[in-house]
Amino acid sequence: MAALTDLTLAEAAAGLAAGDFTSIELTDASLAAMEAGRALNAFITETPELARARAAESDARRGRGETRGPLDGVPVAIKDLFCTEGVLTTAGSHILDGFTPTYESTVSQNLRNAGAVMIGKTNLDEFAMGSSNATSYYGPVINPWRADDGKDRVPGGSSGGSASSVAARICFGATGTDTGGSIRQPGSFCGIVGMKPTYGRCSRWGIVAFASSLDQAGPMTRTVRDAALMLQGMAGHDPKDSTSTPVDLPDFAAALTGDIRGMKIGIPKEYRLDGMPEEIEALWRQGVEWLEAAGAETREVSLPHTKYALPTYYIIAPAEASSNLARYDGVRYGLRVPGDSLDEMYENTRGAGFGAEVRRRVLIGTYVLSAGYYDAYYIKAQRVRSLIARDFDRAFEEVDALLTPTAPSAAFALGEKMDDPIAMYLNDVFTVPSSLAGLPAISVPAGLSREGLPLGLQIITPAFDEERVFRVGEVLETASSFDTRLRGA
Amino acid sequence: MALDSNTVKKIAFLARIKVPDSDLGGLANELNNIIGWVEQLGEVNTEGVEPMTSVAEMSLYKRADEVTDGAYPERVLANAPEPEKGFYTVPKVVE
């Protein structure tokens, strides 16, 4: 029998249901893999005791003939942006030193209620600001995939620890959060599935806020089916988040029919960038062929404001971040650096507590919101954001879903792009537009770069049509028969 | 418009982030690059376009106006750096 950690989440659930193994056995296998994989630096906090206790509860439940569904007893990792009761929560920042929430975020509570077993809190870019996981106070995460040149690659970001731990088969799924691509881009870089639901599908309550009009939690797994099962356990209306949408959850896994005959898939022509690597274009063309072979009809569509999405995002996200991060003041939680006056204490605390990228974004956000510039930058960006959303609305009058690459490159080497913020921001060129429009999207691993690193393709649909995201995503997954086993590891 | 070191210093104070004087020049360059790059939005004709204020088109969910939470000051203060007698503390503000 293959190692337990090689199972998919769905297979692990089936094995538990059939009594082939217990949650304790599965959890011990994950904990051993977590220990063996420490060089990846994917976890900020490991919670083995908690995991064994929850696994034992799950086994006891099952012994009594009670079970809470497919996630019951399955080991998962939680991005360290979700507040977890009694477990250190850092957001990858020095400023949250020692912060141990007395409450649980709604999404991680939902997973607990579904019986999932948390094995630890995963590393991330500080406050989820980054595309390489290199801005974490707790050090960079390593991508478990090895390139031909032997140099360590970044896992992408900001959900880099989650992506790395799922790819390395430490856990069966992990939570991520996506503000401009932070689930999908690391999914693409690490050869796993990363799914961002519609804004409002998952509660933001208890998730450390970055940009509130964009932040959305989602699943990161090795298969599309696993992502559907995991989202089922994460999503749902929550009265504690006023932007959480009061709609019923469909059965996401039931949407995986494999049948996309007659579906119309749009290929946005503006996503064909100048200087885009040929291997990305080739994979994209391959994706078109796969979907056509499965009976879908593809056609070119236009999203004319695409090129303005990144600059729009880099006004709105820092503006919202500068407001959200105002709460880190040395008074209520985390780091406090003394000063002679209240202002000095604030300045000292925030000067010492924030890293370079967070400082940069808070300053930009403060600037674009400051008197005299608010209309010129912030309101202007909100107007362009309306146009970007309208582009998608128009495209979806013609087609049912869009197919694009997930990221403009494969994983780059550790340390690259660190001195050029805009080059780093360009990583999210294909993911930011759908984030601004609040739409659901998935990255599915679809091929390898010339250097032997994973590349993903992205499916985007209208709001609250996650079922179609999963259905088309699974068709891509089947067609690509991507092997998630690490190459060269 | 170009941000100089003085402007960065002013913004840093607004954001209550202590920035060493030696960092001001470098930060001004970085912020100028980013602001210069986002200024391409000026090309977009947004006349008559409403700013987006809500991502999902829905009316805000309302719940009954009643107290549903609270009455556990010890949990609220559990992570405070220097709590005292059931309060947060700050440096003296009034002489």
* Residue B15 lies in domain: 5-39
Q: Which residues of B touch A237 (CB under 8 A)?
A: 61
Q: Mean pLDDT, consecutive 10-residue segments, chain A of 489 residues?
A: 89 98 98 98 98 98 97 98 98 98 98 98 98 96 93 96 98 98 98 98 98 97 98 96 93 98 98 91 98 98 97 97 97 96 97 97 97 94 98 98 97 87 89 98 97 97 98 98 81
Q: Report pLDDT for B1.
A: 53
How many A-B residue pairs are in contact by the CB < 8 A criterion?
160
What is the least distance, in Å, from the CA of A213 to any CA of chain B?
7
Q: Does some domain include residue B91?
A: no
Residue A180 contacts B, CB cutoff 8 Å? no
Token pair of B89 as six digits:
């503390």
Residue A86 contacts B, CB cutoff 8 Å? no
Q: Does some domain include residue B29?
A: yes
- Alpha carbon distance A75, A23 (integer Å): 8
C-alpha torsion sign, points A269, A270, A271, A277: positive
Residue A366 contacts B, CB cutoff 8 Å? yes
Instruction: Record the pTM.
Output: 0.97
Q: Across the interface, do B15 and A362 touch by the CB < 8 Å criterion?
A: yes
Q: How many domains does chain B have?
A: 1
Contact status, residue A364 vs residue B35, Cβ threshold 8 Å: yes
Indicate if A380 belongs to the active site: no
Q: Across the interface, do A350 and B37 touch by the CB < 8 Å criterion?
A: no
Partner-chain residue, chosen from A100, A214, A348, that has the shortest CB–CB distance to B79: A100
Statement: residue B58 has pLDDT above 90:
no
Q: Report pLDDT for A418.
A: 78
Q: Does some domain include residue B33?
A: yes
Domains and CATH numbers, chain A: 4-261+401-480 (3.90.1300.10)
Partner-chain residue, chosen from A99, A314, A387, that has the shortest CB–CB distance to B44: A387
Q: Report pLDDT for A2.
A: 66
Contact status, residue A77 vs residue A122, Cβ threshold 8 Å: yes
Q: Does some domain include residue B86?
A: no
State the Cα torsion A300-A402-A242-A376 to the nearest 10°. Answer: -40
Residue A380 contacts B, CB cutoff 8 Å? yes
Q: Across the interface, do B56 and A463 touch by the CB < 8 Å criterion?
A: yes
Cis ω before A158 (30° cut-off from 0): yes
Average pLDDT of the residues in B54-74: 85
Q: Which of A30, A131, A182, A434 is catalytic?
A: A182
- What is the ipTM score, two decimals? 0.95
Q: Report pLDDT for B25.
A: 95
State the Cα torsion B10-B16-B20-B23 to the nearest 10°. Answer: -60
Residue A137, C-beta contacts closer than 8 angstroms, at least 6 positions apart: A90, A92, A93, A94, A126, A355
State the Cα torsion A237-A239-A241-A246 to the nearest 10°. Answer: 40
C-alpha torsion sign, points A94, A100, A105, A111: positive
Closest-CA residue of B relative to A309 is: B41
Q: Across the interface, do B15 and A381 touch by the CB < 8 Å criterion?
A: no
Among B1, B3, B17, B82, the residue to mutate for chain A (most A Cβ within 10 A): B17
Residue B4, C-beta contacts closer than 8 angstroms, at least 6 positions apart: B28
Q: Across the interface, do A346 and B11 touch by the CB < 8 Å criterion?
A: no
- Alpha carbon distance A255, A391 (integer Å): 27
Token pair of A92 as six digits:
């990858």
Q: Which residues of B touch A360 (CB under 8 A)?
A: 27, 30-31, 34
Q: Does some domain include residue B54?
A: no
Amino acid at A337: V
Token pair of A488 as six digits:
């060269």
Residue A257 contacts B, CB cutoff 8 Å? no
Q: Report pLDDT for A420.
A: 84
Q: Which of A158, A165, A244, A480 is catalytic?
A: A158
Q: Report pLDDT for B8.
A: 97
Q: Across the interface, do A363 and B8 touch by the CB < 8 Å criterion?
A: yes
What is the least distance, in Å, from the CA of A35 to any CA of chain B?
29
Indicate if A132 belongs to the active site: no
What is the least distance, in Å, from the CA of B7 to any CA of chain A?
9
> Per residue in B18-38, pLDDT tens?
999 999 999 999 999 999 999
> Per residue in B3-15, pLDDT tens?
899 999 999 999 9
Q: Report pLDDT for A245.
A: 92
Q: Does some domain include residue B20?
A: yes
Q: Across the interface, do B33 and A421 touch by the CB < 8 Å criterion?
A: yes
Q: Which residues of B touch A198 (CB under 8 A)?
A: 56
Q: Does some domain include residue B23?
A: yes
Q: Across the interface, do B41 and A329 touch by the CB < 8 Å criterion?
A: no
Helices A106-113, A224-234: crossing angle, 10 deg rounding: 110
Q: Which residues of B touch A336 (CB under 8 A)?
A: 81-82
